[in-house]
């Protein structure tokens, strides 16, 4: 009998974990990722709480294991177009988008990107850095193959350039490459389509996009990361100066009747981590975290917060700031808030403010749920009919969901759910025998 197979949609830590578990059990896995590389959001993080493990350093071995596993076929820069069939016998049509680079020939040397005369904002660097129009999304990208961003490529737009082609020693550039349609028959499907970031410019009171020294938490992650655009140095966008004080604003768009009602689950802890890292980089730097409830429910989280206060000059202020203004003299953000413990309305001027924005289900979660005929809940997360007793089972037998696409959660919880989804898929496939 042919090996049973599973389609895993989403190449972040959850999708990778499900894929590795199933592949190690002996199933054939097709891991589909929309962007040019697997790795997902975790690859963008600098360190992880509460151990301050370097995120990429613990993720990279899993990415490489997934890429070299004989039972996993990686389909990056690919999207699921259509799924037909039903319970236990699905046929998926996958569009493998043209990279305009021959995957077999490309050595990932990076020459093409260096020579590409056109630069655009890097998605990986959250717009704080540039990438070439032909690019590798990040240093440890897997597969290590360049991709031409057709939308911005001058050759595709105006018919002239082909600089990358001239400088490619491997002769891997192929402007005539076409999208490829791959059809696979699978016995089960796991959805792990992850999260996007809520745009905080809708919260006008915080001045994001208007006040230069107000940035988002994900931008901060890139800035503090050694592989980021500032190579790990904190630099204020307005003047490049090193900040001496930071304000972290929690629940920006979360737990907010005007925006998202829910709690995004991870922001209390990532703000704490980010404040600790700032002080590790600059021992004089002070951070102030403006919070609603300090949700530190995981293993060793309270100890982490205690360390932040005692050793890393982090102050927690229970308050939801009403607005941020800008001091026109020095570009400093001024945070206006009520000190709820003393009932005084006051303000604090800091060198830079970091908005911990709400996390929302990724845009592709909506698209893929339509194709799979799965319904979404009020907040556009994948609906899990019996979350309590069947926490990873969707409405359709044989389709499972894990990670952020079903609820905000941190990395260990996503990993646990991903393994759970793998176990349920394996159980489902055994039942049919």
Q: Which of residues 219-248 bind other proteins (CB under 8 A)?
A: 226-227, 231-232
Helix (H, G, I), strand (E, B) or coil at 173: strand
Token pair belonging to 317: 């202020």
Shortest separation between residue 293's beta carbon and other proteins, angstroms: 4
Q: How far is residue 354's CA from residue 214's CA, in Å, rounded to a whole number?
A: 6
Nearer to other proteins, 370 or 379 (CB): 379
Q: Report the helix count and the strand count for the chain, using DSSP H and E.
A: 10, 24
Q: Which of residues 355-394 bind other proteins (CB under 8 A)?
A: 377, 379, 381, 387-389, 391-392
Q: How far is residue 154's CA from residue 348's CA, in Å, rounded to a whole number?
A: 47
- Would you say 270 and 356 are in contact if contact means Cβ atoms under 8 Å apart? yes
Q: Which residue has the tokens 């696409």?
A: 405
Nearer to other proteins, 260 or 313 (CB): 260
Question: Among residues 73, 162, 295, 323, which is the contact residue for other proteins, using CB under 8 A?
Answer: 295
- Would you say 137 and 35 are in contact if contact means Cβ atoms under 8 Å apart? yes
Question: Among residues 210, 300, 345, 373, which is the contact residue for other proteins, using CB under 8 A?
Answer: 300
Question: Among residues 261, 346, 370, 432, which is the contact residue for other proteins, using CB under 8 A?
Answer: 261
Q: Which of residues 140-169 bind other proteins (CB under 8 A)?
A: 140, 142-144
Neighbour-count burial of 257, counting CB atoms closer than 10 A to its CB (0-12 exposed, 13-18 middle, 19+ buried): exposed
Shortest separation between residue 279's beta carbon and other proteins, angstroms: 13
Nearer to other proteins, 210 or 387 (CB): 387
Nearer to other proteins, 83 or 374 (CB): 374
- Would you say 190 and 9 are in contact if contact means Cβ atoms under 8 Å apart? yes
Of 72-80, 91-99, 198-206, 291-299, the segment contacting other proteins by CB under 8 A is: 291-299
User: 44: number of CA atoms within 13 Å, CB side?
Assistant: 23
Of 124-132, 155-163, 200-208, 417-425, the segment contacting other proteins by CB under 8 A is: 417-425
Q: Which of residues 11-70 bind other proteins (CB under 8 A)?
A: 13, 21, 24-26, 48, 50-51, 53-54, 57-62, 64-65, 67-68
Shortest separation between residue 281's beta carbon and other proteins, angstroms: 9
Token pair belonging to 51: 């151990």
Nearer to other proteins, 244 or 300 (CB): 300
Q: Which of residues 90-129 bind other proteins (CB under 8 A)?
A: 107-109
- In this structure, the strands spanning 333-339 and 323-326 are antiparallel
Mention every residue, 6+ apart, whose C-beta is less than 8 A from residue 342.
none
Shortest separation between residue 417's beta carbon and other proteins, angstroms: 6
Q: Is 3 in the site for other proteins (CB under 8 A)?
A: no
Q: How far is residue 274's CA from residue 285's CA, in Å, rounded to a whole number?
A: 12
Question: Among residues 29, 278, 405, 426, which is the contact residue for other proteins, using CB under 8 A?
Answer: 426
């Amino acid at each position: 009998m042919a090996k049973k197979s599973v389609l895993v949609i989403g190449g972040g830590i959850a999708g990778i974990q499900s894929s590795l578990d199933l592949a190690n059990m002996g199933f054939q896995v097709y891991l589909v990722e929309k962007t040019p590389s697997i790795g997902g959001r975790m690859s963008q993080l600098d360190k992880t709480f509460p151990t301050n493990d370097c995120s990429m350093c613990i993720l990279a071995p899993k990415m490489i294991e997934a890429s070299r596993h004989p039972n996993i076929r990686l389909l990056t820069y690919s999207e699921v177009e259509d799924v037909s069939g039903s319970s236990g016998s699905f046929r998926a049509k996958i569009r493998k988008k043209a990279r305009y680079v021959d995957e077999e020939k490309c050595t990932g040397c990076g020459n093409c990107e260096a020579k590409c005369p056109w630069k655009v904002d890097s998605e990986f660097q959250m717009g704080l850095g540039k990438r070439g129009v032909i690019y590798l999304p990040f240093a440890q990208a897997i597969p290590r193959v360049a991709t031409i961003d057709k939308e911005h490529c001058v050759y595709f737009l105006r018919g002239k350039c082909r600089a990358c082609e001239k400088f490619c020693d491997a002769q891997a550039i192929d402007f005539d490459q076409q999208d490829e349609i791959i059809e696979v028959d699978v016995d089960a499907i796991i959805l792990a389509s992850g999260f996007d970031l809520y745009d905080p410019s809708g919260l006008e009171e915080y001045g994001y996009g208007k006040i230069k020294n107000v940035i988002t938490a994900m931008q901060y992650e890139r800035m503090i990361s050694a592989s980021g655009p500032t190579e790990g140095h904190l630099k204020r966008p307005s003047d490049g100066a090193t900040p001496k004080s930071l304000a972290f604003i929690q629940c920006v768009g979360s737990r907010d009747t005007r925006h998202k009602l829910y709690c995004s689950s991870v922001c209390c802890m990532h703000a704490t981590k980010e404040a600790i890292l700032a002080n590790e980089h600059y021992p004089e730097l002070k951070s102030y975290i403006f919070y609603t409830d300090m949700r530190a429910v995981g293993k060793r989280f309270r100890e982490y917060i205690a360390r932040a206060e005692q050793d890393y000059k982090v102050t927690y202020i229970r308050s939801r700031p009403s607005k941020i203004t800008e001091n026109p003299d020095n570009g400093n953000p001024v945070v206006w808030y009520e000190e709820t413990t003393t009932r005084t309305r006051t303000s604090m001027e800091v060198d830079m403010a970091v908005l911990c924005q709400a996390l929302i289900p990724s845009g592709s979660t909506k698209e893929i749920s339509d194709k799979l005929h799965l319904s979404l809940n009020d907040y556009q997360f994948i609906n899990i009919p019996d979350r309590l007793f069947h926490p990873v089972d969707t409405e359709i037998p044989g389709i499972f969901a894990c990670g952020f696409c079903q609820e905000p959660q941190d990395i260990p919880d996503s990993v646990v759910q991903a393994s759970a989804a793998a176990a349920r898929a394996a159980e489902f496939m055994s039942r049919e025998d």
